[in-house]
Amino acid sequence: MVKTVLGIVMIYRIAAELVLVSHLAFIVYVTLGAFLNLRWRRAWMLHIPALAWGVLVEFLGYVCPLTTLENFFRVAAGEQGYETGFIDHFLTTLIYPGLSPSLHILLGIALAAFNVAIYIYLFRKDAFAGRKHRKR
């Protein structure tokens, strides 16, 4: 019986860690995913909605569903969840201690501007490349 309970607790802990890693991967994808268009021309179809979600989370202060899922697994494993979002709990305190709500909005603007700049570059690159290869 004790082994079974410990096994279930371990499964919840592993699930929480997998969600944590997935969450971090999603944040990296939202931030840098526009670069995937250099390799796959239609990568924007998945990246734009993810980027929109990331910007909205920053602007409106939403808690990402992945945070809620991770907290569920942590509490089920007997650990304490965290009250803030993933970025606030793990990244903000590490990188930006004392981040105010207005700086959260600034991060959202920077995220959007960075990706818009990448997409503009890619669009212009494709537009100019298309002109060179057209038949006359």
122 in any annotated domain: yes
pLDDT of 11 above 60: yes
135 in any annotated domain: no
CA 122 to mean position of chain CA atoms: 22
- One-letter amino acid for residue 105 of the chain: I
pLDDT at 122: 86
Residue 90 confidence class, pLDDT cut points 50, 70, 90 = low
pLDDT at 132: 52
136 in any annotated domain: no
List all residues 6 or more positions away from 53 whose beta carbon is below 8 Å from its beta carbon: 30
Q: What angle do CA 126, 129, 135 make, to 5 degrees?
A: 125
79 in any annotated domain: yes
Give pTM, 2 decimals. 0.71
40 in any annotated domain: yes
Span 40-60, pLDDT tens digits: 888 889 999 999 998 888 788
Q: Comparing C-alpha atoms, which of 116, 96, 108, 89 is closest to residue 33?
A: 116
Instruction: End-to-end CA distance of the chain: give it in Å, rounded.
Output: 78
Which range of residues forms the domain containing residue 107?
2-130
Give the mean pLDDT of the chain.
79
Other beta carbons less than 10 A from residue 38's beta carbon: 12
10 in any annotated domain: yes
What is the domain count for the chain?
1
